[in-house]
Amino acid sequence: MTAADSVALRLGICRGMPLAQARAMQPELLVAQAQPAADQAALETLTLWCQWLSPLTAIDGSDGVWVETTGCDHLFGGEDQMAERLLTRLAKAGYSARIAIADTAAIAAAVARSSHRSITLIPPGGQESVLRGLSLASMRLDPETLATLRRLGLVRVGQLLDMPRAPLARRFGQALPDRLDQAMGRLPEPLSFRMAPQAFRASGTLVEPISTAPAIARALEKLGAELSDTLSRRGHGARQLQVQCMRVDGTLQSLQIGLSNASADPLRLNRLLAERIETLEPGFGIEAFTLSATETAPLDAPANRDWLTPATDPAGLPALLDRLGGRVGIQSLLRLHDGASQFPESEQVYTGCERVQRLEEYSPAGPHGPRPARLLPVPAPLTVTAFWPDGAPKAFRWKRATLTIRGLIGPERVWSDWWHDPQGGCARDYWVAETVEGERFWLFVAHDGTDPAKGRAVWFLHGVF
């Protein structure tokens, strides 16, 4: 077994126990297949997530994370409050953890794995007294070395600290005394720090704080040009922009802007940024700006340089959506999207929020016959009072009025969806009917997919031209 939860541990089942032995102890034991690759990926993600605490984080084995917090604790009110905040955020993310803060990475890892306390703070220079009481299993020693030490009756780190170094190195190799020196702080321990994926970013610090909208616009314009140049060199365009403003009182103001398609055009980016400046609260002044492209995509289309383009230019629509989203909010915009139905009343549905900006998802419908200007929300039943010899309608009654048809276009057959058939038929035959008064109606007959019988056909009015 590679892992056991708290309930299993209380029942005497522990990591490393054979599965047959665990099942013998608890026949109703729930077992899941281990996924080392997924666990490692989750640990990588957690290591990067911890960089909100410190930019220097590294993976420790298969179940630990090192965080270099030197110089960071004062930002949280001290080491104890920093550890409490980290533990709280880990719990909200669904992790149970034990935290140890010490002068060296080796002793912090050993204490975190051996202590039963959620948070352990080791005072500066106090690593030797803590280290003496730890078991050798917490020192991440080679399994063969650890087994040999146990056979010799050595189970505590303090027993090794009192022994001469030269015999230990000859008997177990230099790795053992080096591990002890790393825990004591006498020997540096190399750590492989993880770096977050590099984002497209432009930053600037001002000589004097600014608080007016024109000054903020000029600062963002300079950063927008710098970011656009970086994006263009890499062949990418921004899909999401994030602006972070550091005020003189230490608080951070931020805003996010979404784009309909990838763009590296500085005029377009700066126009969008200018629309949102009024949402910033500069307070007593802003002294630093950071403009980041948090989501990008390859530039596979010419950049749009202005939203005031002719209507025949399809690139004007993304820019218009960007400005509307910046003014009224993307949550206030709706867009027609292909529905999962061939029936006209269901073949398009309204979607909002993020899907409004995904213009590349749009796929126009295939060729079809004439469509009315006004489509009824629900097809209205009607009665056909006369038919032509081929089964086409000749006259019908709707809303107490009998209308005579003088011209027809059709039929256009539309098959129903096998999972959804509101009219109880397998197909519809649509007709464009023009009456002697000059009105044009969109009629259909629902039937079972064969030639509709006059007596059993069900007719509906679906639209008006």
Does residue 121 lie within any of the structural domains?
yes
The answer to whether 130 touches 107, Cβ cutoff 8 Å, is yes
Shared domain check, 401 and 318: no
Shared domain check, 296 and 237: yes
Radius of gyration of the chain (CA): 35
pTM score over 0.85: no
Shared domain check, 317 and 268: yes
Structural domain of 280: 200-325
Shared domain check, 291 and 231: yes
Shared domain check, 107 and 80: yes
Shared domain check, 60 and 158: yes
The answer to whether 321 touches 358, Cβ cutoff 8 Å, is no
Shared domain check, 176 and 218: no
Does residue 356 lie within any of the structural domains?
no
Bridge partners of 428, per DSSP, are 414, 446
Does residue 339 lie within any of the structural domains?
no
Does residue 20 lie within any of the structural domains?
no
Q: List the CATH number of the domain containing 290.
A: 3.30.1490.100
Which positions ≥6 away from 410 have C-beta within 8 Å?
369, 392, 429, 430, 431, 432
Does residue 350 lie within any of the structural domains?
no
Tens of each residue's pLDDT in the chain, 465 residues:
788 888 888 888 888 888 888 888 888 888 888 888 888 889 988 988 888 888 889 998 888 999 998 888 888 888 999 999 999 999 988 888 999 999 888 889 888 988 888 999 998 888 888 888 888 888 888 888 888 888 888 888 888 888 888 888 888 888 888 888 888 888 887 777 876 665 688 888 888 999 898 999 999 999 999 999 988 888 888 888 889 898 888 788 888 888 878 888 898 888 888 888 888 888 889 999 999 988 888 876 444 444 344 444 445 666 666 666 666 666 667 766 666 666 776 666 666 655 554 544 444 455 567 788 788 888 888 888 888 888 888 899 888 888 898 888 878 888 776 555 555 557 788 889 999 888 899 888 887 766 665 556 788 888 888
Does residue 219 lie within any of the structural domains?
yes
Which positions ≥6 away from 115 have C-beta within 8 Å?
98, 100
Shared domain check, 387 and 313: no
Number of folded domains that form the chain? 3
Shared domain check, 315 and 280: yes
Strands (E), 78-192: 99-101, 119-121
Does residue 363 lie within any of the structural domains?
no
Shared domain check, 164 and 79: yes
Shared domain check, 232 and 131: no
Shared domain check, 278 and 154: no
Helix ranges, 245-376 (H): 266-276, 316-328, 354-357
